[in-house]
Structure 1
Amino acid sequence: MSASGWRHHWQTIVANIRVVNDAGDEKALIETLTRPQATTVVGFVNAHAMNLVTGNRDYCQALSAADVLLRDGSGMAILFRRLGVEPGLNMNGTDLIPKLLAAYKGRRVAFWGTQEPWLAEAVRHSQARFSVDVVSVHHGFSPAQTYVDLARQYQPELVVLGMGMPKQEAVAALLAAGGEPCLVVCGGAILDFLGGKVSRAPQWMRRLGCEWVFRLLSEPRRLFTRYVVGNPMFLLRTFLSRPS
């Protein structure tokens, strides 16, 4: 993609990101998300997402169509500061989605993503910890229409997608195109975290913004391209970005 092409995609995504300034702002957002008036999609934008949008127009459109886009990761904080924008809080899904599940206590939830045995364990853990009513469970490898059909059948109030980028954003866009009022969250590896397949980094690494290093060391083969190749490319494009 040409320089003007990826810059346009980056500008589109960054312009749609909602900056959450403090804990009170986060609390107000969660309260709003518990009362969706229509199908509402929440997406997260990290360095990997920004790399993907540079060469994938469909993904860029699906991601930018989310009703709420949140900044995820230290790389995006670097980009924001490069553009002269305060980045606000780091709003990664691994921290926010459990808070949403807690806010949906007693309500109808769907978990679509990952695979067994971690999917079943994510259900068990979430029902025990958050007291949600998990009404639909499905792995993350079916055609997108499958999840639209499941939404019509089970009518969940909260859908957690754990399929990874870019599939989950495409599924979310389809769900938003025709569904009952519900919250759809693009959760990436959240079901793997809840199911015990993937562990969180120590708190000190999270505070330093280097949880990605822990993940790379934990899954080097799967995440090598994303981090070892992708992070330098992201930083190069960040350097080439200019304030508007």
Structure 2
Amino acid sequence: MDAWPWVRRWKTIIDKLRVVDDAADERQVLQALSAPRTATVLGFVNAHAMNLVAANADYCTALAAADVLLRDGSGIAILYRRLGLAPGLNMNGTDFIPELLAAFNGRRVAFWGTQEPYLSRAADQAEALYGVNVVSLHDGFASIDTYIDLAQQQPELIVLGMGMPKQENVAARLAELGRPCLIVCGGAILDFMGGKVTRAPDWLRRLGGEWVYRLSREPKRLFVRYVVGNPLFLLRALLFNKASLTGP
């Protein structure tokens, strides 16, 4: 493990992951997250996140600082099964964050991420579908201090759509403010809600192939993440063995 520091970092994240067993367990998680008593960070861990963890110790620290980490995608399910662990439900943010928005009906929400006009379109959709009150909008390209200042508007739910690793770093800083609030690292959720990108067909999602659809729609942007990143993740999954979970 000393020769491969990424193994220790992977262990840190796997130990932190909250596996959701079934629909009843998912409802319990949803209920807890919708009533935060202090600043609470929700993150999602997929193969891309684990590649970033392997490459960047600071990102690992920011991701591990989240209060709740959920498994996202088939890559982490493959890793769990290799380790002899039950992967639970696929708690991808694109499906789960809308459930959170519905749970925050009538409450103050901030969307920080993506860019216009998609940001405003996402806010309009959220207000129309989920009844939230969007009190703050900002693109995802500002400094961390900008978002710290925006937090003075005291939203009860903050959705960060900045992509990894920036959103996890922003979330960690926002959590230091301590105000009761749920801070969600939402990845591309605002792009989906704002119509910038579309989701894969249901049948392809059920097969765990949504990444193939996304790659076909944005090949230049996502080539390294998927064509290079997925095989790299699988190679690391082969090297990361069960002994690492119980080692020092």
TM-score band (shorter)?
over 0.9
Alpha-carbon displacement from aligned partner over 1:189-244 (angstroms, at most 9, x marks no partner)? 00000000010100001100110000000100000000000000000000111113
Instruction: Report the equivalent of 1:25.
Output: 25
Name the CA distance, whole Å, in 2 between partners of 1:54 and 1:46: 13
Residue 179 of structure 1 and its aligned partner are, at CA, apart by 3.2
Is the contact between residue 18 and residue 69 of structure 1 (CA under 8 Å) also seen in structure 2?
yes
Indicate yes or no: 2:8 matched with 1:8.
yes
Q: Please state whether the residue corresponding to 1:150 is helix, strand or coil.
A: helix
Q: Please, which runs of 5 or more residues in structure 2 have no aligned partner?
A: 244-248
How many equivalent pairs are there? 243
Alpha-carbon displacement from aligned partner over 1:121-148 (angstroms, at most 9, x marks no partner)? 0011111111100000000000011111
Q: Please state whether the residue corresponding to 1:91 is helix, strand or coil.
A: coil
Indicate yes or no: 2:98 matched with 1:98.
yes
For residue 143 of structure 2, what is the amino acid of its counterpart?
Answer: P
Instruction: Report the equivalent of 2:39.
Output: 39
Alpha-carbon displacement from aligned partner over 1:50-101 (angstroms, at most 9, x marks no partner)? 0001111110000001000000000000001111110000000000000000
Indicate yes or no: 2:190 matched with 1:191.
yes
Is the contact between residue 151 and residue 179 of structure 1 (CA under 8 Å) also seen in structure 2?
no
For residue 143 of structure 1, what is the amino acid of its counterpart?
Answer: S
For residue 125 of structure 1, what is the amino acid of its counterpart?
Answer: Q
Q: Please, which runs of 5 or more residues in structure 1 have no aligned partner?
A: none
Name the CA distance, whole Å, in 1 between partners of 2:165 and 2:200: 24
Instruction: Report the equivalent of 2:228.
Output: 229
Matches within 5 A, 1:137-216: 137-152=137-152, 154-216=153-215
Is the contact between residue 9 and residue 60 of structure 1 (CA under 8 Å) also seen in structure 2?
yes
Is the contact between residue 40 and residue 184 of structure 1 (CA under 8 Å) also seen in structure 2?
yes
What is the percent sequence identity of the aligned residues? 66
Identify if the C-alpha distance between structure 1 residues 179 and 166 changes in structure 2 by more than 3 Å, giving closer, same or farther: same
Q: Please state whether the residue corresponding to 2:24 is helix, strand or coil.
A: helix
Is the contact between residue 82 and residue 241 of structure 1 (CA under 8 Å) also seen in structure 2?
no
Report runs of 4+ in structure 1 exceeding 3 Å deviation: none
Residue 177 of structure 1 and its aligned partner are, at CA, apart by 0.9
Name the CA distance, whole Å, in 2 between partners of 1:179 and 1:155: 11
Indicate yes or no: 2:220 matched with 1:218.
no
Indicate yes or no: 2:81 matched with 1:81.
yes
Task: Tell me the C-alpha RMSD between the 2 structures.
Answer: 1.1
Q: Please state whether the residue corresponding to 1:137 is helix, strand or coil.
A: strand
Residue 4 of structure 1 and its aligned partner are, at CA, apart by 2.1
For residue 179 of structure 1, what is the amino acid of its counterpart?
Answer: G
TM-score by length of 2: 0.96
Identify if the C-alpha distance between structure 1 residues 220 and 133 changes in structure 2 by more than 3 Å, giving closer, same or farther: same
Q: Please state whether the residue corresponding to 2:111 is helix, strand or coil.
A: strand
